[in-house]
Amino acid sequence: MKALLKTFILFVTPIAIGMISCGNETKTEKQAVTNTDTIPKKDTVDGFVETAATFVPCANDSMKELAMIISGKNYEGAKVLPKFFASADFKVFAENFDKKWNSYDTSRIKRLVEFREKELVPNVGTTKKLFYPFSGPDILYGYTFFPEADEYVMLGLEPVGTLPIYDVKSQSPDSMDAYYKMVNSSLLAILKYSFFRTKAMKTDLKNQELDGTLHLLFLFLTRTGNTICSAKPLYIDTTGSLQYVASFPKLQGKKCLNKGIEIVFNSPDNKTKKLYYFSLNIADGAVKSNKGMLAYLKNLGEVNTYLKGASYLMHETYFSVIRDAILEHSQHVIQDDSGIAFKYFEKNGSWNYKFYGTYTRPIPMFSYAYQKDLDSIYKAQGSKPIGFGIGYNFKDKNSNFMIATKTK
């Protein structure tokens, strides 16, 4: 990966990669991406025609090509990194990854989309902001289930990673083979079981080549049809506000409790969206001393929360801060049984529930997390078929899924 990134830096502005803006202009948080081209909307009373701005996607050839190489997607029109697309290592990686992804896309993703249209759309409606704690780099499921969201906020222990700056003159695209192998290795669990294994991620995302979540975030966003515009390193200050950092290496060396990344991307339905990933410990003991994250959670606003493969941590008393924030700010919580224990919903407000799949005892590693009350309500209320495997009981007949909707 270093070889690619060394070449990549030749084609960006003199400021650090992390501060790449949309097109040639730095956009503020509130600036819209439009231009002067317009289309007729309707006639007004006085004869003038009202117009609506045509969507103009933000563009960044360097980021787009970098993300396509990471995700193994061929691109014949490459302007910035053509020699990497032409390399033997990339061609092998792309061919093998295409086969793997196409198999996954036509089997599992197809069923996820069917479930989304049949159950999530009518029961959850439009999600503006998706909150996905304990996510790791899994924007794949977050985006597939909630593609209409304008903003995705993800939390995990895994590091952000870097896009370092190097001298590029002596670098060759043929030195990428180790990186491609690490990408394939890191995706084994999510593509086979539907979740990332925390222990494996500690190794997969902390090595010299693949050093953090940003690589897989780029991959999943690109493979689901999105185009990366910018990637900015940041952290949350003590007031809960976002503070941007000059580069990913500087963020990596910074002493702070919540390092993050902001990715701006264009979706296939012609919208510009944002993804935030924050690397931090959200157990009570850690988060209570993290003033920035406490303030951020307090100001989260209304969200829909998605939880999958959350290790049953919010069943424990020492994950009360994040659990309470979810229950306070969420209009809908969509989860498997590894998320928030059912008893906490019953103690916090009024909720309606829809159940899917079958609730069985957790796998042996988490046998202590069996919920008798959840088992009882599954049997009393009944559930609909889920149609796919998800979570730790990843076989279809053993998987469970719940939509909890706040009523007041």
pLDDT tens per residue across span 173-211: 666 777 787 777 766 654 554 444 444 444 444 455 567
30-84 pLDDT per residue, tens: 333 332 222 233 333 344 444 445 777 787 888 898 899 888 999 988 888 888 8
| Percent of the chain with pLDDT strictly greater than 90 | 52
| In the block, residue with structure tokens 């069923």 | 111
Rg (alpha carbons) of the chain, rounded to whole number: 22
Whole-number Å distance between alpha carbons of 332 and 406: 6
Higher per-residue pLDDT: 372 or 392:
372
- Mean pLDDT along residues 397-408: 91
Contact 158, 183 (CB under 8 A): no
Question: Considering the entire predicted model, what is its pTM?
Answer: 0.83
pLDDT grade, residue 114 (50/70/90)? very high
Within 8 A by CB and 6+ apart from 252, the residues are: 159, 160, 162, 259
Comparing 18-22, 65-69, 296-300, 395-399, the range with the smallest average pLDDT is 18-22
The pLDDT, as a whole number, for residue 167 is 31
- Mean pLDDT along residues 248-252: 88
Contact 232, 18 (CB under 8 A): yes
CA 163 to chain centroid? 18
| Residue 123: pLDDT over 70 | yes
The pLDDT, as a whole number, for residue 99 is 85
Terminal CA-CA length for the chain: 50
Q: Which of 22-36, 161-175, 202-216 has the highest mean pLDDT?
A: 202-216
CA distances from 383 to 9, 231, 327 (A): 53, 41, 23
| Residue 26: pLDDT over 60 | no
Whole-number Å distance between alpha carbons of 216 and 71: 8
| Residue 242: pLDDT over 90 | yes
Higher per-residue pLDDT: 365 or 165:
365
Contact 157, 198 (CB under 8 A): yes
299-330 pLDDT per residue, tens: 999 999 999 989 999 999 999 999 999 999 99
The pLDDT, as a whole number, for residue 53 is 58
Amino acid found at 291: K
Q: Following CA atoms 199, 200, 204, 205 in sequence, which dihedral angle do they give, to the nearest 10 degrees? A: -40
- Mean pLDDT along residues 373-396: 88
| Residue 278: pLDDT over 50 | yes
Whole-number Å distance between alpha carbons of 343 and 371: 9
The pLDDT, as a whole number, for residue 393 is 80
Whole-number Å distance between alpha carbons of 265 and 40: 27
State the average pLDDT for the chain.
81
| Residue 396: pLDDT over 60 | no
The pLDDT, as a whole number, for residue 378 is 96
| Residue 106: pLDDT over 70 | no
The pLDDT, as a whole number, for residue 4 is 55
